Each structure stands twice: as C-alpha cells, then as structure tokens.
C-alpha cells in the first residue's frame, strides 16, 4: 500500500497552497541541507561547521 499518483498530486497541491510558490525553493534547499548533514553524520564525516 504505497502512494499513488493521485495522492502525490494532492500532497503537492496542499503544499503549494500552504507555502506559496516563492517559499518552495527555500524549503527544498533547507531539506537538502538537512539530508546531506544526516548522511554525513551517518558516514562519520565531519560537517562543514566542524571542518573550520
């Protein structure tokens, strides 16, 4: 029981309504940074803040 196309489209529409088109790139950038930091932490690599 996974997500089908109608469910994904509904989620996208709700996100657009809640945040508007201008905030979406900022949210995705923040999410991408969070995922990268999480993966780096799992691999034991120091983050950019720790390298300084």
DSSP state of 44: T
pLDDT at 36: 92
pLDDT at 19: 80
Distances (CA, A) of 36 to 26, 49, 50: 15, 13, 14
DSSP state of 46: P
Q: 34: how many CB neighbours lie within 10 A of its CB?
A: 10
Distances (CA, A) of 33 to 6, 17, 27: 28, 24, 10
What pTM does this model have?
A: 0.50
pLDDT at 27: 82
pLDDT at 52: 53
- How far is Cα 52 from Cα 43, in angstroms, rounded to an integer? 19
pLDDT in single tens digits along all 52 residues of the chain: 678 889 989 998 888 888 887 888 888 898 899 999 999 988 887 655 555 5
């Amino acid at each position: 029981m996974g997500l089908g196309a109608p469910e994904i489209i509904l989620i996208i529409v709700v996100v657009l309504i809640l945040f508007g088109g201008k905030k979406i790139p900022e949210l995705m950038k923040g999410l991408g940074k969070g995922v990268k930091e999480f993966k780096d932490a799992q691999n034991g690599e120091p983050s950019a803040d720790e390298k300084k």
